[in-house]
Structure 1
């Protein structure tokens, strides 16, 4: 990106008119803009800035002592004004028209609330063919004199009388115009430090100063002081501009450069800036060691080490934790965890991943580690559910010797009939006897009926004996205590 300033077409016309008519071109105001968020390239046809952010009366216009055709216009931006990036600048005449336009390196202008502690000065350089056509504006409201008048009327002999070699000019009192020449060792001079900060653009090695000059300047990049020199990591002042310096190397975009003028002896360490919130501490690890405190990462490492198992009531692990679900994860992303576990719970794809332990639905048991209670187990090995081998005892009471009593059923009333043959008696043929022939025919006799009655029943005793016992099953598919389901996690 090239940074430059040039006359607009309108500015060239006004300058030509002033040269032809012998009049002065009066410049009254300057403005800066942010380019609407983008870098700008100045053009002759411009009539206004891309996006103007601040305009004010010109603080001063002065001529380069070494080049009478080169002028500097200076704008002061108050400390309380800001909150935008400086990318473009313009100089306006008394009619409010754009005479000179230029572009600037991206420089953020903070407000007083953001840490700006002094006004910001922005300068633009332009050249003219006839220096008499430029009006010097020592006061924004008064056109005082042309450069020619100053040269012709104010001489070195007027300002610096003879006989003062080795002396300094100082005030004798607070009255206007009251001064005197004094020896240097008789004057106490108190100066304050002046500082400004900028954010460097990518590949930027030229830095234009807004508040300071390269005289007595200390340069810090991200809190590290650069030595004065021509090597990388050093800086040099510009040969022609006291408000410009050259870095020995470029830095990443957004790198902060702090420029401090009148730093006492230039040896004191850079103070911490309040707006940086300790981001500019040079050695944070050493600072924590001195304060006996831990960083967030150090605290996390001490709270849980890679491989530690913990449970959470949340559905997802917290920071530095993974679900202990047997998943295959990267050996490089989780290098610390892989160093602790290896392939104990699975080798993943065998090359780039490894498996986490799977604790879903499992109870955790302390590793036996040689005690002998759960011997033969390897660290991290799984164990199926089991019930310890045992016996059950039980009996039924013996009945002892005993007899049983009983009775038959009631058969009801009944009678019996007998039929026989009547034969002739061989002794007395006139008498009938029972025989095998029915000489006198058959005869039936009926016995007297027996009424309702019972019959006795005797049952032999069984002797002492026992009976078989069948016990039914109870319970579910596993043996377990009361429990609560939580998410098992592993720290990495």
Structure 2
């Protein structure tokens, strides 16, 4: 927009005027989509002159930002003026704004303007701000300019939002506070409610309260290795019976890490570990320094035993034991072959004494306490809340060695194993597969195969034969192990030069036959060579 009293103005470019005329003549909508800003200082001058917009411009002098428009509208005061607006957020800038350009959907610069120099700081510079850049330009007709903005990219100014709120609020006559409201196509609230369930909110992809409670009931917070007794002939999901059996480390890695090889007896085989044996056993708390059951190692077993029972019988002046009435408890006494005598009188017979605990206690073939038969189990894996659906047998099958025809598991091979190339049970990673590979392609270059292919290397190049007739070669790369052979051909000689062995890893000198002394003295022949090694 040109102001006769101002040095700052906006104009349509030649391209813009042509598109405006075409839109007016054919009635084709013309869509202006983006705004660019620049500092008009491509040379980085300390005090650049203000730019002067030109109708012949096809680009800004030094554009540093181009983004979609935030607003494009007709001036309510002057219908021949189009107002274009862009908002630059606080985290962009650190540059001057001296020139503005508008671009249409074809990417053509259709309008250009200059402006009073304005520095747009960055937020990180301590004075960041959101800045609005606006251009007003005159057109012959606004009828065919499509005033369309993509709502997905619009950044509204605070003033615009405040105005929109003030416009909508008086129309919202629905009272109360709601967790859910319904608005019409103009953004006006027309109804509201307060649903109390997810279903009432229209949320279908969720668990019900009953389902969540059931899942929590099935979940276990016990760590791997915890020992639990079950009073039925069932093992709960996530547990294994402590039956002394051998298990695969691959199938139960967490439990294997917890138990280690503490209960192995030998013969478990590679990749396996053994569970403790608890069948028919009482569990006893480890003494752990208390001194009640001293000398025990954690996890060790102990045979049953009976606390010793002792007694004593004494006689004065001969046998004085009565047959009845004077012996109690587990002891009994009888007289045989004589007469039971009063105290102080010797007996001529034999006194028999016996011990029988069944006279006073329940007896059996073992020493035991009163008990309940249970299955002792150990937490074997941290199952998810649907752990009851885990098929352990299927997991065990997948944990075995994979082959060409069977799913399973396999380890990653080491670099040494990859280079050896003899183990067919381990995988090779891309890094190890390419280890040692090298290549430079050019007039002088090399190709070095990876280590698993032996590191075989081919090198080649072109050099000049010196005046002494020698072809002095510098290898593009060093050999690591051995330089096998190097061959070369001089440009003026038919046939190969002499081949040499026992060469160094970093270079070679090959004498060449030159036809005459004069030619040898002149030098300048090209020498093409090829070398092999690893």
TM-score (norm 2): 0.28
Which structure's CA Rg is the greater one?
1
